Amino acid sequence: MQRLPDTSLTVALASGGREHFGWGIDRHLKADIFDALNQNTRATGQWGKGKAPKFQPWPRPKAPKKKESSKAKPARRVSVAEIYKKFTRR
């Protein structure tokens, strides 16, 4: 895990899912620069009052949302003996 490139699938899965695949530091920086240029254009433009355009931000990967239910049961604890039985069972 130490010398993998930041765009690898293993790093993407560790970061939150497949949608992060290919998103290295360079791609995040490019997306940030794109958004900063759009904000600068919006802030310094000679727009009429209330007529400044809305720029869409660069699409970025999002972490999947977890299901939250009020009736969810807490996970049952599993002992080491139960895990051993599962692995040694034929």
CB within 8 Å of 58: residues ≥ 6 apart: 30, 31, 34, 35
Over residues 46-78, the pLDDT tens digits come to 888 888 889 999 999 886 676 665 566 778 888
- 9-54 residue pLDDT tens: 888 888 888 888 999 999 999 999 999 999 999 999 888 888 888 9
pTM for the full predicted model: 0.62
